[in-house]
Amino acid sequence: MDGSGKLCTADITQLEREWQAISEQSGTLRIWRDNVVLTVSADYYDQYLLEKLDELKASIDDNGFLRSARLIGVAIAYCEQYIGASYFEYRLRELIYDGILEIKGIPTAMRFYSIKRKRRTESELSVCIDEPSS
């Protein structure tokens, strides 16, 4: 920018090139780091969500479940990027489908269900122990 608040032709050309490069990427999620847009895997924030869930154990209600809306709100508040509630809810559902989280309620909207970490059964634990490490 030239100080007038208007973009000069060179800036516009540079932005067009950047947009073209970003639009050709096939990733689901992009983040801003070190003044660059980076494509990251869809599960990039899964560990972050699980850590926030563990931090919120003090506010967990009946049988260890926490309202998903509460977790999503905290995740948004403390995230270094702007990630919307719908993306975090999508990732919570994937963690449920993957068997990492349990659900209580109806997952029609985040305010209607609660989540907690799924406890591993004895057979699941023995499989993990029996698997050779790589």
The helix, strand and coil proportions of the chain, stated in percent and rounded to the nearest 5, come to: 50, 15, 35
Q: What is the pLDDT of residue 44?
A: 96
Residue 85: inside a domain = yes
Over residues 82-119, the pLDDT tens digits come to: 999 999 999 999 999 999 999 999 988 999 999 999 88
Residue 106: inside a domain = yes
User: Domain of 104: which CATH number?
Assistant: 1.10.10.10
Residue 66: inside a domain = yes
Over residues 3-39, the pLDDT tens digits come to: 677 899 999 999 999 889 888 888 889 999 998 888 9
Query: In angstroms, rounded to a whole number, what is the distance separating the alpha carbons of residues 38 and 3?
Result: 28
The b-or-e profile of 8-41 (16+ CB within 10 A means b, else e) is eeeeeeeeeeeeeeeeeeeeebebeeeeeeeeee
- For residue 96, what are the domain limits? 45-118
Entry pTM: 0.76
